[in-house]
Chains A and B, each alone.
Chain A
């Protein structure tokens, strides 16, 4: 089953500059009927430019082919398995796209009067309620544009609540396995990021927590299940200890896929959490498109939510509430990334409560299946079952000079996106594999077989793995030189 990446037609494609011909044109817009304006009289001299030397004049098919060819160098979940750990690269159902394209949503002007935006406001209100139900929390904001922004919004709310109690405190505690955005958000919010060393089993070490959680610590930012794919089974005791010392629990909910419909942040003593719609709720990652990182909170933090807040009046009409004196402010223009919210709402409705719980079951079973199949071929640093993702290392392969990076590149030749590598940083040579629930047994098997073949070759013919990838348009890139001496300017810019 491997070898799916081989293509008969692999286009190389160079820069677009210097191509075409001066008189060649693409699309010409029709005349507008408005009076022509002379730029020289309308704009300051310094802003005017004459001819741009070498700027390409191209036909529409030339432009289309240029970008389409380059897009084929890319990889997508629509092409094959994409087990990028921590990113939950599940398949994005097409029904979501159909819903997000409904004219009543797409043609709504963001400045339209609220009476004309009732449909969109209702979706926001419903989605907030569903996310609260799923997470066991009391209130939500859908404004944050990604998980990282959700973290900042959540910490700002904690800071506001502590300030109202009389002391915002100085530090935020973070397990050493946490995602890099967590300490970054803490520092951005004006806190000192203090590292909490994990225990030998990869979970929060209660003794270390007890030692470090003091009366200057505002919050513990914990990820559950954590980035090693391990459930923080002491979470109730953890929350109790932090609450007893006057701190808050921020839960990074990026890994919610592992217990969707099975367990809730609210029942674990969490005060505030973010969830990633572009992971758990099947909205697309990237492609230039936006993400969405809603934040859910317990009642105590609700007054601090970003404004405006959607409210429903007694007459059933929805409105935007701006009068929120304790709010931490706006986090996003208008209603957040509405197109993403619509996709997530469509997903929740099409799955239903039982469907969502099956997501978690299949995601966990799939990860444990891979774990069981690879266990004889790769070093597995943390014993016991995992949740929705597993971490393996290159310890066995490094004896033959083959590293995690080499294994990742060899997977590309076999048609798979590599897993997340060298993260979490506390595990040497980590490969973090997250299959998600949307993959068939055949796909999981073909991935495992590719991994086993790589492990066998690492021993028998290590050079073949170190040479990978060989089936791509560009083979092994010199990442170090690219980072040390980047050349980011096109030839036109000199």
Chain B
């Protein structure tokens, strides 16, 4: 199971990758996709929506269950992964890369400091 070091993590099993200082790319972790099983549908928000930190922005539906997605940071949705509508399996196959879910223009990049490091998140996930 992968826990890339260059990412930040939330307790709700999302990851954040920062680009250009204030753009946050958000997806769910390898651990999360493995727990959910085969993902069959990802409901993402509309571009332009403002999200608070911790706010639910969509759902991931798998053959087993339906799970809410929470935004680790506050910001405005500037892009939604267009591939997921036709190929939700990308979240299973490539959770940290092709399976990204949304991009946010962050309100306050300092919020990233509240998130977990790869090591802390690995400990959380492995505690079960």
Contact = CB atoms under 8 A, between A and B. Distances in A.
Interface of A: 180, 405, 421-423, 425, 428, 479-480, 483-484
B65 A422 contact: yes
A483 B65 contact: no
5 contacts: A428-B128, A480-B40, A484-B40, A484-B88, A484-B89
A484 B35 CA distance: 18
Overall SS of chain B's interface: loop
A405 B38 CA distance: 12
Nearest to B87: A484
Given A422-B64, A422-B65, A480 B128 contact: no
A141 B41 CA distance: 38
Nearest to B68: A195
Given A422-B65, A425-B65, A428-B128, A483 B89 contact: no
| Complex A-B, nearest 3 residue pairs according to Cβ-Cβ distance, in ascending order | A480-B38, A483-B40, A422-B64
B63 interface: yes
Given A428-B128, A484-B40, A484-B89, A479 B63 contact: yes
Interface string B18-40: 00000000000000000100101
B125 to A, nearest CB: 12
A425 B88 CA distance: 21
Contacts of A422: 64-65
Contacts of A479: 38, 63
Given A422-B65, A425-B65, A480-B38, 16 more contacts: A405-B64, A421-B64, A422-B64, A423-B65, A425-B67, A428-B128, A479-B38, A479-B63, A480-B89, A483-B40, A483-B63, A484-B40, A484-B41, A484-B87, A484-B88, A484-B89
A180 B63 CA distance: 15
Overall SS of chain A's interface: mixed
A112 B45 CA distance: 51
Contacts of B87: 484
Contacts of A428: 35, 128
| Max chain B Cβ within 10 angstroms of own Cβ: one of A428, A479, A480 | A480
Contacts of A405: 64
Contacts, number: 26
Contacts of B41: 483-484
Interface size class of B (residues with CB under 8 A): 10 to 19
Contacts of A180: 66
Contacts of B88: 484
A61 B13 CA distance: 56
B89 to A, nearest CB: 7
Interface of B: 35, 38, 40-41, 61, 63-67, 87-89, 128
A188 B67 CA distance: 18
A176 to B, nearest CB: 11
A480 B61 CA distance: 11
Contacts of B128: 428
Nearest to B67: A425
A423 B88 CA distance: 23
A393 to B, nearest CB: 11
Contacts of A484: 40-41, 87-89
B86 to A, nearest CB: 9
A339 to B, nearest CB: 33
Contacts of B67: 425
A422 B64 CA distance: 6
A91 to B, nearest CB: 30
Nearest to A423: B65
A422 B35 CA distance: 11
A479 B40 CA distance: 9
A405 B87 CA distance: 23
Nearest to B63: A479
A190 to B, nearest CB: 17
B91 to A, nearest CB: 11
A480 B65 contact: no
A401 to B, nearest CB: 13
B60 to A, nearest CB: 12
A484 B84 CA distance: 11
A180 B66 CA distance: 10
Nearest to A404: B64
Nearest to B128: A428
Contacts of A480: 38, 40, 63, 89
Nearest to A486: B40
A428 B88 CA distance: 23
Nearest to B38: A480
A424 B36 CA distance: 14
A433 B63 CA distance: 20
A147 to B, nearest CB: 19
Contacts of B61: 483
B52 to A, nearest CB: 13
B65 to A, nearest CB: 5
A479 B61 CA distance: 13
B61 to A, nearest CB: 8
A15 B44 CA distance: 36
A146 to B, nearest CB: 20
Contacts of B35: 428
A421 to B, nearest CB: 8
A423 B64 CA distance: 9
A431 to B, nearest CB: 12
| Max chain B Cβ within 10 angstroms of own Cβ: one of A405, A422, A425, A484 | A484
Contacts of A483: 38, 40-41, 61, 63
A405 B63 CA distance: 10
Nearest to B66: A180
